[in-house]
Chains A and B, each alone.
Chain A
Amino acid sequence: QITLKESGPTMVKPTQTLTLTCTVSGFSLSTSGVSVGWIRQPPGKALEWLALIYWDDDKRYSPSLKSRLLVTKDTSKNQVVLIMTNMDPVDTATYYCAQSPVLEWFAFDSWGQGTLVTVSS
């Protein structure tokens, strides 16, 4: 059974850096074709893709947020980490990690439960 679980602070202050961890089980981050993405959803709004990391450590970022994002993984710990700098109240959202299992097609077929991050002074 594949599971993903997000963890990190529930609140950060403006200008601070957010670090979120996605801990996965039921698959390996080094399996060929696997990728893990980060997606967020402000309250009452649509889903927004942030970043993606592949099994081979290749990375992709949302063009509009690229300067503020870093995604890394630790295969031995089964963890994917998202770092977002210079947080602002508009970054208040539920942050999800999700897995796409193969290269032949792309879709997030397993999701974490999400973690709500509030940005406020």
Chain B
Amino acid sequence: EIVLTQSPGTLSLSPGERATLSCRASQSVSSSYLAWYQQKPGQGPRLLIYAASRRATGIPDRFSGSGSGTDFTLTISRLEPEDFAVYYCQQFGSSVCSFGQGTKLEIK
């Protein structure tokens, strides 16, 4: 089973700054099966990025994904107030799906 480790656990930044979130896999992951989600308090997750780098429908272009193999990154180029939330990476490999433990992006 592939374990996803996200870092940092909490990221404190100000609006307008750049956010870089990391997701490291215990084994190589196919880029087609790596996704990122945003979750705000009291809401369900929302798909941001699929296939490692493709933005989901309606997602602003300040969100971008990159990486391959075992190291993946979600970048938010300029933080807006509505971007402060928890972010999860997720993979599907060897017929098993798993999520990372999440990164909380908080206002500094």
Residues of A with Cβ closer than 8 Å to B?
37, 39, 46-49, 52, 60, 62-63, 96, 98, 104-109, 111-114
Contact = CB atoms under 8 A, between A and B. Distances in A.
A60 B95 contact: yes
Given A109-B50, A109-B56, A104 B32 contact: yes
A91 B96 CA distance: 20
Chain A interface main SS type: loop
A111 B56 contact: no
B97 A60 contact: yes
Contacts of B67: none
A105 B97 contact: no
B95 A114 contact: no
Contacts of A108: 35, 37, 45, 47, 90
Q: How large is the interface on B (under 10, 10 to 19, 20 to 34, 35 or more residues)?
A: 20 to 34
A15 B25 CA distance: 35
Given A60-B95, A107-B35, A107-B56, 11 more contacts: A49-B97, A49-B98, A60-B96, A60-B97, A62-B96, A106-B32, A107-B47, A109-B57, A111-B46, A112-B44, A113-B44
Contacts of B47: 107-109
Contacts of A39: 99
